[in-house]
Structures are given as C-alpha cells and as structure tokens.
Structure 1
C-alpha cells in the first residue's frame, strides 16, 4: 500500500515579530514560581525556528504514514529547502506528481522513502521516477 499525504505548504511571514514571554526558570512540573509573574525574557518564534528565511516554509500534514515518529495528521512542519538531505532525515519529497512525507535513504542506484507506520511499505525511487527532495523537516509543531 502506498500512501501520499496531502501537504499544504505556506510561506512564513518573516516581517512580523511574534515575541512571546519566556520563563527564565524553565517549566516546573510542580508548583509555579512566583517569580514567573515577572518574566522579562522574550522569544520570537520566527527567529527561533527560521534559520534561512528565503528557503523555509511551513506545511500542514494530512495522513498517518509518519505516526510512529510522532508526526500526526494536522501537525505543522517547518521545512528548510536549503538543508542538504541526509540518510534518515524526514523529508518532504515530490514523486511522480505528488508530495509525500517520509524518511529518506540514499542507496546509491536508488533511494528509499520509508514511512513510520507499518501499514505502509517503503517507496523505491529509481531514475524512472520524477523525483526530488523538496525540503528537510527541521521542526514539528503539535497541538496538544
């Protein structure tokens, strides 16, 4: 069974600043510190997540082929097209007219796109396929 996700791709708005308060003391799993009422550090998610603005995109995942890696339906991906793909990376790949999200492995004469869900089989990519690695996933943002 081959499964291709529906991936919506969005360009980030790097002109905006989204500075949010950042706790100086970390996050306690016990009682909160009264000092946290006076948080002075700020965190801008654009600066934190986007290292190469002209090559970075967001995408929303639709599908379950990477669920065993904790990448689920509706998760938001931060994808960097300037990162050189490497064996084992999670990549957004374009194959034969469709996008898919898989682990990439270079086998020399072919590549394998490996899902993280036993319901799906790896996809063998050869020179007969129209194939490119569109970008490497750098972050997964989840709704809890």
Structure 2
C-alpha cells in the first residue's frame, strides 16, 4: 500500500465557499453570497508534517461513511481516543476501524457483516494515525445511479 503525503509547499488552490449552508432536511432559501475562498489543504491538514493520505479498501466502515476508493486524511500527531476512526497496523497490514478503549481495547468495524478485532489475538498492533477527514466520490459508490 502506498502512502501519500501533502506537498510541503503547495500552491494555494482556492475554491468559492458560499455563505449559506445546504440543508439536508427541508430546503432553505438560496443565496448567491460568497463567504470567501476555501483551500482544502488548510481545512483538512492541521499538521502537514504528520499527515498522509490513504485510499480506503473494503466495506467494513461503510456505516461511518467510508467507502471503497475514498481518500482518507490521516494525522499521525493526534493521540487516538475512544471512538476515533484510526489506521492500525495489525500483523503487518493496515486496517481502518473505530477504536474502542473501554471496557477493553478492540478495533470495531462499522458494518455488521464484519467482526470486531481483538488485538490481543494478533502478533502486533500499532495505532498509526487518526482519520480526520474522508473525501469520497458519490458517483463511484455502490448503489448510485445516474438518472
């Protein structure tokens, strides 16, 4: 698996950011007012030297909105907390799971078709980083159909 890291001196790429939010419930009146410009590097990468990107593979985390092919923004400088989605290096391979610290350490999937991982059953476990953002392409997800 190839890890990708942010460009340490990226050219700023800003995209218009609208002042009003898009309602996920009842529609709200539209507005053409811009709040400003948004650079996704400054929004998604708090610690550039400790941040890397990974592509998600498999379907064990669909319940938290992580689908195959999604780009995960991972920060190695954060201390993993109970409930964080983490990248774990387990017996030499990467896995994405929710970290459970209480009542005991486990790595939990977010899809009932998959079983939790009990790290004491593995040879080695290293928490590699905390997933801070997920960037996905809705058109590439299963179940999407263009009309």
TM normalised by structure 2 equals: 0.79
Kindly indicate whether the alpha-carbon contact (under 8 Å) linking 1:81 and 1:136 is maintained by their aligned counterparts in 2. Answer: yes
Contact 1:8 1:61 in 2 (8 A): no
Instruction: Establish whether residue 73 from structure 1 lines up as the match of residue 68 from structure 2.
Output: yes
* 1:111-131: CA deviation from partner (whole Å, max 9, x where unpaired): 211111111111111286211
Which stretches in structure 1 are left out of the alignment for 5+ residues? 1-6
Greater fraction of residues in strand:
1
Shift of residue 58 of structure 1? 1.2
Preserved contact between residue 91 and residue 122 of structure 2 (Cα < 8 Å): no
In the alignment, does 2:83 pair up with 1:88? Answer: yes
8 and 120 in structure 1: CA distance in 2 versus 1, 3 angstrom threshold: farther
RMSD: 2.3
- Which of structures 1 and 2 has the larger relative contact order (alpha carbons within 8 angstroms, sep 6+)? 1
Q: Secondary structure at the match of 1:92?
A: strand
Alignment CA distance shift 1:142-1:128 (3 Å): closer
Query: Does the aligned pair in 2 maintain the 1:56–1:81 contact within 8 Å?
Result: yes
